[in-house]
Structure formats: structure tokens, C-alpha cells
Amino acid sequence: MTLPSRAQVVSSFTVVKGAMINETYGVFKGWDFTVSKRENLDRLRNRNTIGASSLTWLRDVAKVLNRRFQPDAQDKPLVMLAQAGCPLDEWKPLLLWHMTRDEFLVRDFLRNWLFPARVAQVARVRVGDVVSYLAGVGDRGAVTEHAWSETTTKRVAAGLLKMAADFGLLRGGAAKEFTTYHLPDRSFLYLLHALRDEASNPGKIVGSPDWRLFLMGPADVEAELLRLHQYRKLDYQVAGSLVELSLPCVDAVSYVKMMVS
């Protein structure tokens, strides 16, 4: 029997515990690359380096970070930026992109439910709406760790909406509204580098479904590319079906090093 990829496993625990933006930034700011991930998280639990309000919350932070990130591998750029004091408004969208590499439910919710709701000009979204969406995630390849009770399902739905609000995509109370979200320029450039690392074809980069995480469609991405081309932050040329995109650095890690230099 083939076990599902971790990227397909849905964890109610991580969603209910939330985005943990400030906690993750604080942990990564003090991350020690000379020791293992386990030793870093043990130090977090033993010394409470982020000033958690309770031992239970501290353990939850360590558990979620252990499940969500690989700081010595694909998520190293996030650590480097936190240690360099990257402004939180630039760092947050990168955190969202990195955490959705392995967190199926957050990725699927934002790309395949929240973004279409925005396109359809839905005025408000509520927990009940998301409960209906959760009933169909298994049809898109998700594997739940265990069956959810009605209470757990509602908590997960509320957690997804709160996470979207924490990242600035929604606002409001029980009935949330869409914000006018805009990616900071350096965040947008980092994501362009990261997506090019995965697929070098400019057309695939512009059309990547990952832009939906930030409520952006291909037309929105192209508008940003043209604007940044005008300011000479990149080179973007379109001639019929031919698309050329030249970025400042060879890959995402190189761009991070330029950001922190």
C-alpha cells in the first residue's frame, strides 16, 4: 500500500491552531543552522525563546512548526529573511506560500474556494459556506488523518477563514469581506523567482494557480509584471504568443541573499 504524500494529508490540528505568523517569525529569527531541527525545537520548548503565554501553546507552536516547515531545506529562505529582519508585511506572503507547499487544506481552500468566491464577487463568506466546501476536499485527492466530528469540521472552517484574515485577504467578524490585497514588490519578485525554480516557462509562471493564494489571476500577475518592467525591476516582453521574462537573480535563494545584503 502506497502512503499518501504529506502534501496531500489534511491536518485539522495545524489549521485550528492557525497561521502562527509572529511565532514562526520569532522562532526562525533565532534558528541555529549548526544544529538539527529537533534540537532547535527542543530549545524552543525548554527555553520559551518566543515568550509564549503558556506551556501548552509553546508545545503547540513546536508541533505545528515541525509539521509545517523544513527550515534547513526548502524553507531556508524564510529563516534567512527573518534573521535579516525582513519587514513582516513582506515576509508574511512568503510564509503563506511556503506553508502551503505541504499544507493541502490551506492551499486548496485559498486556490479553489476563496479565489473563485472573489472572482464571483461574493460579498461575504461565513463558516457555514466553508463547511460545505470541506465536504468535497476528498474528491480533490485530500486524505484526512481521521474522521472529523461536526464540531471539528466547524472549527476547521473557522480556522481557514481566520487564517485568510491573518494574511490580510479577508476582514471582519462572523461574516468576512474581501480586502483589496496587494503583494509588496519584493514579495512578488521573490515568488517569481521561486516559481521559476519550479517551472522555467514564463507562461506557466504567469498562469500558476499559486497566485490565487493572493487573490491574483493571470491578468493581475501580468499587470504587476508590466508595472515592474516599467520601473526596471525585471524585464518582461510579450510578442504574440512569445513571452520572455528576465529576473534579477538566477534563483530564489540568490534573490534572498540580494534582499538581505
Looking at residue 4, which CATH number applies to its domain?
1.10.3540
Are 105 and 144 part of one and the same domain? yes
Tell which of 162, 181, 200 closes a domain: 181
Are residues 177 and 251 both part of a single domain?
no
Q: How far is C-alpha 164 from the geometric centre of its chain's CA atoms?
A: 10
Residues 93 and 214 in one domain: no
Q: Are residues 177 and 206 in the same domain?
A: no
Claim to verify: residue 137 and residue 208 sit in the same structural domain: no
User: Are 137 and 123 in a shared domain?
Assistant: yes
Q: What is the pLDDT along the chain (261 residues), one digit of tens a residue?
A: 333 456 677 889 999 999 999 999 999 999 999 999 999 999 999 999 999 999 999 999 999 999 999 999 999 999 999 999 999 999 999 999 999 998 999 999 999 999 999 999 999 999 999 999 998 888 887 777 778 899 999 999 999 999 999 999 999 999 999 999 999 999 999 999 999 999 889 999 999 999 999 999 999 999 999 999 999 999 999 988 888 999 999 999 999 999 998
Does 215 share its domain with 161?
no
Q: Domain residues for 225?
A: 185-260
Residue that terminates a domain, selected from 181, 200, 223: 181
Tell me which residue of 211, 228, 229 sits closest to 220, measured CA to CA: 211
Of the three residues 181, 199, 214, the one that is the final residue of a domain is 181
> How many structural domains are present in the chain?
2
Neighbour count for residue 138 (Cβ, 10 Å): 11
Judge if 55 and 92 occupy the same domain. yes
What pTM does this model have?
Answer: 0.94
Residues 47, 75 share a domain: yes
Q: Are residues 51 and 106 in the same domain?
A: yes
- The pLDDT assigned to 7 comes to 65
Long-range contacts of 80-89 (CB under 8 A, 24+ apart): 80/256, 80/257, 80/260, 81/256, 81/259, 81/260, 82/25, 82/28, 82/29, 82/31, 83/28, 83/29, 83/31, 84/259, 84/260, 86/259, 86/260, 88/21, 88/22, 88/25, 89/184
CB 178 within 8 A of CB 170: yes
